Structure 1
Amino acid sequence: MPIVDERLSRRVAWLMLARVVLLLLVLGAAVVLEASAGHPDSRSQGWVLRAVLAGLAATIGSGLLLRRFRSPLAFGVLQIATDIGVATAIVHVTGAGDSVFSFLYVIIVAYAALLFDRRLSVGAAVFASLAYTASLVATSRGLGVLDPALPPPSLLLVIADASVKSGALLVVASLSSGLSRELARADRALDERTRDFGRLRDLHELTVQSLGSGLLTTDPEGIVRSFNREAQRITGVAGADALGQPIASLLPGAGQLFELDAERQRERIAFTSAEGTPLHLGFATSVLRDAEGRPGGHVVIFQDITAIVEMENDLRRSERLAAVGELAAGIAHEIRNPLASISGSVQMLQSGLSEEDLEQRRLMDIVLRETDRLDGLISDFLHYARPAPPERKEVDLTALTSELQEMYDTARPADVTTGFEVEADLRAWADPDQLRQLLWNLLLNGGQAMDDGGSLQVAARCLDAQEAALDGRHHVDGERSAQVEITVSDTGSGIDPELLDRVFDPFFTTKPRGSGLGLAMVHRIVEANEGTVSVESELGKGTTFRVRLPAAPRRQAHGPEAPASDAVVADGGFAGDAA
């Protein structure tokens, strides 16, 4: 049966190795001593050689039997007994009490205490004392004496020698046992510290990897040395690829803060992930110091604050809209009343013209046309600045988009093609008139973006639960998502990336005669109906507007929000043109 206690097994292996070294030293010492004595004793050398060879043979046999012993302790006892036997043989053939090799007992007792426990070391000391005493007694009786000329020791000398060396062996056993206990205690403490360190390291690693923020550390040269799981998710860069890279290649702008004197620095940067997703990152840097306070690198903590930046932009846009609303209330009548007077006066003057006054009639037509255009612009402005609260109800998107397609196809340029793809039985929960206005503005905007013709595609679908969960405003309703998504895509010239953040701002337009209110009105309508709108564009390829709105709630027998009638489609005119 294999030895279970691996630690004790290792100690036994060390014991056998120590035996080999000790036997070789004994052999060498015996040769040197005999050579220096001037009268070498071949018989003594022969017996020493036999004892050494017996010890080496015992070591080889023990090595072969090591894995067969059930108890490593019993095996260790056998090894100690073997060592004492070999040492006794060497001591006896070299003069017993006069032998220079009696120190072997001390070594055996010492390593018995160090490698095993106190009981075995004391037992080894007692056994060694008995063996040495037996050797002395045998020598005093002339047994095994290689040199008969030597006088045998007296009984008193035997007793004194045995007593002194037995006491010395017991003292060695006691001291070695104490040292062994201290070593064992230190070993256990080291094991405990090692386990504590391992647990602390695992806790640190788990904490760093579980952080909701990206975290990386660098050396003084700005080379990344650690990169946690959230950092990998935000940047789209695997940890193995990030390690060893300059931080400037991972977070452009972060490395510049390292050069500043301030202990802590905070910054925001525009960032594009490895997947090509544009993000806004907020990050803070601080100096990484060792236990003595010396700088050893930097710590960088960063988060994806894209949603926060978008909320701030929406808030600023809303603040501008509030100011626009106040301005609109003050100037609307001041502008429209003179326009009405101008238009009425010109019409009266025009009615008094003769048929020959063609030039004056043409000029008056221009005045009337421009006053009508200005009045329409003011109407759009007022409708945008102070929209009516939405009256939300169930809207059949299939019917609504079919009507819009029919209307747009009659007015679109000949070089523009359209395609509408709407899931069956798709219903939104929104104000039907406002939703109709929203889609019409997007259709006009897409058509006007394709000066050289192209394709305008409209798609509407129900979002699955995972996609809907990405938007915190809406919740999944039963088996169907609580959101519908409408996309309007054109193949026009696209929008400059630097202008994308401004497309929904009021009065911002890239068209020569655009009012800048069409897309701003789209954003206002979507917000009023508790939805979201986003834009994706690539220069030279086109633009996609993506609108997400709540799906109509399920019909319930007595539900307070269940619509009292069937789904409706907006019926009425449009508030204005696209930007």
Structure 2
Amino acid sequence: MSLGRGERADAKARTGLGWLLGARLLLAGLSLGLAATLDRIEAPEYGSGIEGVYWTVVAAFLATIASALMVARTRNPTRFATVQVAIDVLIVTALVYFSGGRESVFTFLYALVILYGALFLDRNGVVLSAGLGAAGYGFVLFGVEVGWLPSVGGPSGTRPLPVLGAYWGFYAGALLVLGMLANTLSAELRRTGAALDRSTTDLRRLRDLHLRTVESIESGLLTTDEDGHVTSFNPEAERITGTKVRDALGRRLEELIPGAQAILETADANPSDGGPVGRERISYRNARGEELFLGMASSSLRDEGGDQVGHVVIFQDVTSVVSMERELRQSERLAAVGEMAARMAHEIRNPLASISGSVQVLQGDGGQEDPDPERARLMGIVLREVDRLNHLISDFLRYSRPAPLKMEPVPLAGLVEEIAEMSESRCDADFEVSLGLDRTVVVMADPSQLRAVIWNLWNNASEAMAEWHGERRLSARVLRIPGDATQGAGTAGRNDPCEGSAPAPTTGETAVLEIEDSGPGIEFEVQARIFEPFFTTKRDGTGLGLATVQRIVEQHGGAIEVSSQPGEGTLFRMCLRCVGSIP
């Protein structure tokens, strides 16, 4: 948890008090060392005064301990610091008195106290500490000389009072000048330190803002050096590529995102003062094996001198955009197909009916078999192909002009069981059918059209395994999942209105039908086009079966998708809004 400005100032003041007490310890330790030296070298001259020095040093240590215990409870750090400096002046005055007065070796400690006091006190406090130091020194100097204080140690001798006054005045002035100079330097140091703290804080905030911006941006962002090695990698880039930051740093960009190097070369060939070049789109398989499309742009990365030191690459997952563009193109084609369908019905079906009728008349002419077998065979071919062409036109019209939906609650599991029973007689002995049905799932649908969807998917799965030499297993599952998995799907009746009552309220759940086979699977390139009209891989297919399935599912406000791996089978998943359940 960060501290407020007042809390930070209070913490800083208490730290300063700690340094102040540390200075007193230094003063006491230095005094103890000098006392020991004097005691060993000049003991006869100081006599009993040396004991006073020792007791003063002990008092200094005790005062430090007592002050340290009071630091945490003090409410006014400035006043506390002033009192501590005054105690230090008193300690130095006692040391000077017990060690010889004006001849004492401890007089320099006044300057030391004034110096470290100037680091923690304001100008008034420095003047006060300098005044206390001068007063204490004058009290010892004149007190011993005029007899107010007994002489307890050190060399003795008398001097005229004017000389002592001049000596004291010079020393007091030096202390004041020293204190003011130290205080000025300390104040300037504090201002410089505060400015440095503000600059450091601003720099830290700017750095944090930069990091949060880079981490929060909903686009992949990375930088490279001049050799194309990745030097930074934001979380969104990690999510899109499926590569951890630690694995991406230091790798060549072309290894991480094949095709990106060409975009960098385009950026170098078309300089734009560091601005991004035109956006490029590339296909990409990430570390998780997902097939994506990336929209990518690059610009030069320059140092403070304007020299290029690498590249900035920004990219996004535009797979959904590509998918929507494909759907839009398909919708445009379907609109054209719909316009053409009505004309084709009249222009082609009528001649076909005439041809079929004429051939049948020729076949049955006279009520006898045609004596020419070749002629009979050819007429049979004509009738068969006319029927096939008529069937193709019917499929085409059914796809381009879907019938209005007659919506009603439909138990999804019941339709699946019905289709399974119908296809049972067509299955070989080694053909295994597995059903996993939630019989409580109910959807709002047109039963006949939904039955056509399930039949088409079931028939495709059966045909896929007809010539398959591996395991032949067909599984159908009906289940419900929480949430609406049909978001973004077509709405019911977008081409033709639904007949019947108003739509039933949904339960907030999704009904899912999965039909899976263990056949040869579907190539990825084929999966991308499998719902396109007239696209087929069957020798006699029309290419309208799955296109019609998708159209019907979207009319119901649902969605359908395919998932397949070559050699591992195929799974079709249809999602519709669940409108209730059967007890």
| TM-score, normalised by the number of residues in structure 1 | 0.78
Q: How does 1:407-446 map to 2 (within 5 A)?
A: 407-446=422-461
Alignment deviations for residues 489-536 of structure 1 (CA, whole Å, 9 cap, x no partner): 111111111221111111111122222111111122222222211110
Quote the Cα distance in structure 1 between the aligned partners of 2:409 and 2:126. 92
Shift of 1:334: 3.5
CA contact (8 A) 1:435 1:525 kept: yes
Q: Does 1:282 align with 2:272?
A: no
Aligned AA for 1:488? I
Match of 1:264 among 257, 272, 276: 276
Identity %: 42
For 1:326, the equivalent position in structure 2 comes to: 339
Matched, 1:173 2:182: no
Taking the aligned partners of 1:207 and 1:544, their CA distance within structure 2 comes to 41
SS at match of 1:11: helix
Length-normalised TM-score, structure 2:
0.78
The aligned residue for residue 454 of structure 1 is 472
Q: Distance in 2 between matches of 1:273 and 1:194?
A: 40
- Give CA-to-partner distance per residue, 1:30-61, whole Å, 9 cap, x none: 999xxxxxxx9786799999999888767765
Alignment pair present for 1:549 and 2:562: no
TM-superposed deviation, 1:542: 0.7
The answer on whether the counterparts of 2:103 and 2:154 sit within 8 Å (CA) in structure 1 is no
Q: Please tell me whether residue 11 in structure 1 is matched to residue 38 in structure 2.
A: no
Question: Aligned partners of 1:359, 1:48: CA distance in 2, in Å?
Answer: 148
Cα distance change of structure 1 residues 48 and 210 upon mapping to structure 2, 3 Å threshold: farther
Counterpart contact for 1:506–1:520, Cα < 8 Å: yes
In structure 2, the CA distance between the partners of 1:17 and 1:552, relative to structure 1 (3 Å rule), is closer
Q: Which amino acid aligns with 1:258?
A: L
SS state of the match for residue 468, structure 1?
A: coil
Select the residue among 386, 405, 410 that pairs with 2:420: 405
**8 Å CA contact retained: 1:430, 1:550:** no
Give 1:139 shift.
6.2
Q: Contact 1:404 / 1:440 at 8 angstroms: preserved in 2?
A: yes
2:528 aligns to what SS in structure 1?
A: helix
2:379 alignment partner in structure 1:
364
- Secondary structure of the 2:440 match is coil
For residue 488 of structure 1, the aligned residue among 515, 524, 533 is 515
Q: How many pairs does the alignment contain?
A: 542
1:121 to 116, 126, 129: 126
- Stretch of structure 1 that moved more, 175-184 or 82-91: 82-91
Q: CA deviation at 1:101?
A: 6.9
1:559 counterpart residue number: none
CA shift in 2, pair 1:5/1:159, >3 Å: same
Provide closer, same or farther for how the CA distance between residues 41 and 63 of structure 1 changes in structure 2, counting only shifts above 3 A: closer
Partner residue of 1:222? 229
1:107 aligns with 2:108: no
Aligned to 1:529: 556
Deviation for aligned residue 1:540: 0.2
Residue 509 in structure 1 maps to residue 536 in structure 2: yes
Residue of structure 2 equivalent to 1:379: 394
Letter in 1 for 2:363: Q
1:306 to 298, 307, 319: 319
Cα pair distance change 1:177/1:141, threshold 3 Å: same
**Aligned twin of 1:577:** none
Which one-letter code corresponds to 1:14 in the other structure? W
Structure 1 match to 2:329: 316
CA apart distance, 1:276 = 3.9
Greater Cα offset, 120-129 or 274-283 = 274-283
Kindly tell me: are residues 249 and 59 of structure 1, through their superposed partners in 2, closer, same or farther at Cα, counting changes over 3 Å? farther
Does the aligned pair in 2 maintain the 1:215–1:299 contact within 8 Å? Answer: yes
Does the 8 Å contact 1:474/1:483 carry over to 2? no
Relative to structure 1, the CA distance from residue 48 to residue 11 in structure 2 (aligned partners, 3 Å threshold; closer, same or farther) is farther
- State whether residues 492 and 542 of structure 1, in contact with CA within 8 Å, keep that contact through their aligned partners in structure 2: yes
Distance in structure 2 (CA, Å) of the matches to 1:120 and 1:10: 18
User: By how many angstroms is 1:406 displaced?
Assistant: 1.7
Of 545-554 and 108-117, more deviation after overlay is shown by 545-554
What root-mean-square deviation, in Å, do the aligned CA atoms of Structure 1 and Structure 2 show? 4.2
Q: Identify the range of structure 1 (123-132 vs 341-350) with the bigger mean alpha-carbon deviation.
A: 341-350
SS in structure 2 of the partner of residue 280 of structure 1:
strand
Gaps of 5+ in 1: 33-39, 555-565, 567-579
Q: Does 1:137 align with 2:154?
A: no
Distance 1:357 1:391, change over 3 A: same
> What SS does structure 1 have at the residue aligned with 2:563?
strand
Partner Cα distance (2:380, 2:331) in 1: 39
Please state whether the residue corresponding to 1:115 is helix, strand or coil.
coil
Contact 1:140/1:154 (<8 A) preserved:
no
Unpaired stretches in structure 2, ≥5 consecutive residues: 1-8, 493-503
Contact 1:461 1:486 in 2 (8 A): yes
